[in-house]
Amino acid sequence: EPLIILKDIGRKYVIGTEIIHALKSVSLTINKGEFVALMGPSGSGKSTLMNILGCLDTPSKGEYILNGINVSNMTDNELAEVRNKEIGFVFQTFNLLPRNTALDNVALPLVYAGVNKENRRARASKSLENVGLGNRMDHKPNELSGGQRQRVAVARALINNPSIILADEPTGNLDTKTSIEIMGLIEDIHAKGNTIILVTHEEDIALHAHRIVRMRDGLVENDFANPNIQKVD
Ligand code: ADP
Ligand code: ADP
């Protein structure tokens, strides 16, 4: 069942008289429940593609169909609505609010979704328990380790039951042991049926994914199933 269909997506940036074709032509189909790693050298278009996939940006050409809806030509307000409903983001730098507790950070997307305070607390605490942080709910980010901060970010990404989790270098600021822990958590989330797209520079990290898409110069250079992982459908 296709969740994401990209048809001949292009994205160019015009800077003065210069035109940069960050994405030239990208066509990809990603099914519900896939775990995809997006790789490629710096400047190959990964961030540009993730921004489009996350409805933070729209393509200059081509079509993006997300969950059956053409989001290619939506207004910023329409995109924001799709984003809040469909996308969970996890970043390299965690992007937590420093003055807020873990619980309040996780509950934040529910504020935008108009959920009442009582339900927000109940759902956020459940989400924190699910990532193993039931005993850290009232801690602020600076009272947590890097791995715990990223767990908070994962709990926040999952809180709205999004269709897709987009993770941009989620282990980029973590040591090897903690990276492996976070990848274990992401694998668990995938095993529960979530669709995950992960940008990484590291081959070891990419090998947790079931499919590896490699970009170069704004194009998909190759796209293959991870031979180390048995397909389980
Ligand atoms: P990656 O994430 O793989 O490093 P990017 O998508 O960030 O690649 O960049 C692809 C190309 O587009 C690069 O040449 C980059 O300099 C350019 N680019 C990215 N974002 C912008 C922007 N906002 N304005 C102008 N050029 C950009
Ligand atoms: P990353 O690849 O680690 O996600 P960024 O997305 O910040 O890094 O940037 C990727 C590339 O895009 C870099 O080479 C950067 O110089 C370029 N880039 C990002 N934003 C702009 C911009 N506004 N103008 C020009 N180039 C940009």
Q: What is the ipTM of this complex?
A: 0.73
Residues with CB under 6 A from ligand 1: 13, 15, 20, 22, 40, 42-48
- Ligand 2 binding pocket includes 172 (Cβ within 6 Å): no
Strand partners, 199: 38, 168
Measured from the CA of 22, which atom of ligand 2 is nearest?
Answer: 12
Please check the confidence at residue 231 and state whether its pLDDT lies above 60: no
Q: Residue 44 — very low, low, confident or very high, per pLDDT cuts 50/70/90? A: very high
Task: Please tell me the predicted confidence (pLDDT) of residue 66.
Answer: 97
What pTM was estimated for this model as a whole?
0.88
Quick one: pLDDT band at residue 228, thresholds 50, 70, 90?
confident
Alpha-carbon gap, residue 83 to 116, rounded angstroms: 20
Is residue 133 within 8 Å of residue 148, measured between CB atoms?
yes
Write the pLDDT tens digit of every residue in 48-67: 999 999 999 999 999 999 99
Q: What is the largest CA-CA distance in the chain?
A: 55
Does the Cβ of 43 fall within 6 Å of ligand 2?
A: yes
Give the residue, by CA position, lying nearest to ligand 1 atom 27.
13
Contact 116 CB / ligand 2 (< 6 Å): no
Residue nearest to atom 15 of ligand 2 (CA): 43
Task: Give residue-wise pLDDT tens across range 100-114.
Answer: 999 999 999 999 889
Q: Which ligand is nearest to the CA of 44?
A: 1
Q: Cα of 181 to ligand 1 centre, how many Å?
A: 30
- Among protein residues, the one with the nearest Cα to ligand 1's atom 25 is 13
Looking at ligand 1, which atom is closest to the CA of residue 51? 6
Residue 146 CB–ligand 2 contact under 6 Å: no
Strand partners, 142: none
What is the average per-residue pLDDT within 128-132? 96
pLDDT tens per residue across span 137-176: 999 999 999 999 999 999 999 999 999 999 999 999 999 9
Mean pLDDT (the chain) is 95
For residue 45, pLDDT over 80 is answered with yes
Instruction: Report how far Cα 38 is from the mean position of its chain's Cα atoms.
Output: 11
> CA-CA distance, 159 to 88, in Å (whole number)?
8
Q: What is the pLDDT of residue 230?
A: 66
Task: Say which ligand is closest to the CA of 40.
Answer: 1
Ligand 1 atom with minimal separation from the 218 CA: 10
SS (H, E, C) the chain: CEEEEEEEEEEEEEECCEEEEEEEEEEEEEECCCEEEEECCCCCCHHHHHHHHCCCCCCCEEEEEECCEECCCCCHHHHHHHHHHHEEEEECCCCCCCCCCHHHHHHHHHHHCCCCHHHHHHHHHHHHHHCCCCCCCCCCHHHCCHHHHHHHHHHHHHCCCCCEEEEECCCCCCCHHHHHHHHHHHHHHHHCCCEEEEECCCHHHHCCCCEEEEEECCEEEEEEECCCCCCCC
Q: Assess whether pLDDT exceeds 90 at residue 17.
A: yes
Residue 227 has pLDDT above 90, yes or no: no
Residue that has been written with the tokens 């669709």 in this structure: 195
The CA distance from 187 to 198, in Å, is 11
